[in-house]
Structure formats: C-alpha cells, structure tokens
Amino acid sequence: MNRKVLVISTSPRKGGNSDTLADAFAQGAREAGNAVEKVALYDKTIGFCKGCLTCVKTRRCTIHDDVNAIVRQMLTADVLVFATPIYYYGMCGQMKTLLDRSNPLYSADYCFREVYLLAAAAEEDEHTVDGTVTGITGWIDCFEKARLAGTVFAGGVNAVGDIQNHSAVQKAWEMGRNL
C-alpha cells in the first residue's frame, strides 16, 4: 500500500541515536513503496505554546515559526512516526513542545490513523520508555481515529553512533517495511 508517511525526528542532535532509528524506519517504509518524508527538529525554530487557544478557531498557531508548516504536513500524513531521545524517562522537550503546538490538528480532518514511536536512551531497562509511551498515548487519545501502532526502544545508547549495531535499528527498519 502506498501511504504518505511523515517521520519526525525530534532529537536535538543531528545523526543522534533516535535520528538513526528514524532513518531506518524511513528506509524500510520507502522500500515498501510508501511516500516518506522526514522532518528533523534539530534545525527548526519552535516556540512554546502560549495557551491562547486561537488555533482552535483558526486551525493555525499565532506564533510564526517552523511549527505551522510541520503541522500542515502532519495533517495530511496517513502515518506519523515520532523519534525521540529519552531524557529523564520522558520524551525530549522538542517533541513535547511540537505536540503541544500541534493543537490545530485537534478540530481538523486529519488523515493519520497510525502513530509509531521510536525511542533511544542511555538507560537500558525496558521500562525506561514507559513515560514516553504514556506521553505520546495521551496525545494520541485526543485523536479518536488514531492509535499507537508500534514502539521501538533502543536502550544502552548514549553517544552519537552508539546505536549502530543495536537490534532496534533492524526493528525500526522492519516496522517501516511492514507498513
């Protein structure tokens, strides 16, 4: 099936471990015949939500930065993929800020049905990802037609490149390939 897949790498580090997971998923999804676009937040300007709720009426944020374009891409994607490093047992601040700023999607006729989470952390314990799963699930719960379709977690990776031989890279590729 040829679907429009948007992979959002929220890592502040170009080529970081979660960014590597994003690339692997994207490669697998492309190989499966999907139209894949990747957005990396490390070079984007993203301000904090001001809580004005103007976006509920206008479906556009009043802050003029890179988020409005990303949210438009999210609106038309069939599949959303978020890749994040785990900081203090939760998603990185860049990802949380993007999710907060995606509020214009709430009342829109969004296309996405499947949402995937790719996460990397220095901590190896399998429960390290639980807080991040809870956070993304809370966001997804606001979109009744969407669901968390899969998660890949790479524990024990810290420095850029630590993930190269980690089994999670293959799992991310396979998850993308199986869309």
Q: What is the DSSP string of 151-168?
A: EEEEES--STTTTTT-HH
**Per-residue pLDDT averaged across 76-82, rounded?**
98
94 pLDDT above the threshold of 70: yes
117 pLDDT above the threshold of 80: yes
The topology under which CATH files domain 4-177 is Rossmann fold (3.40.50)
Q: What is the DSSP letter of 141?
A: T
What is d(CA 28, CA 155) in angstroms, rounded to the nearest whole number?
21
107 pLDDT above the threshold of 90: no
Where are the extended beta strands (E) located within the chain? 4-9, 35-40, 79-87, 90-91, 114-121, 147-155
Tokens of 77: 């994607």
96 pLDDT above the threshold of 70: yes
Burial class (CB in 10 A: 0-12, 13-18, 19+), 73: middle
Q: Within its chain, how far is the Cα of 162 from the centroid?
A: 20
**Cα dihedral 52, 116, 70, 14 in deg (nearest 10):** 110
Domain locations in the chain? 4-177
pLDDT band at 58 (very low <50, low <70, confident <90, very high): confident
pLDDT of amino acid 40? 97
What is d(CA 175, CA 21) in angstroms, rounded to the nearest whole number?
11
pLDDT of amino acid 56? 84
pLDDT band at 1 (very low <50, low <70, confident <90, very high): low
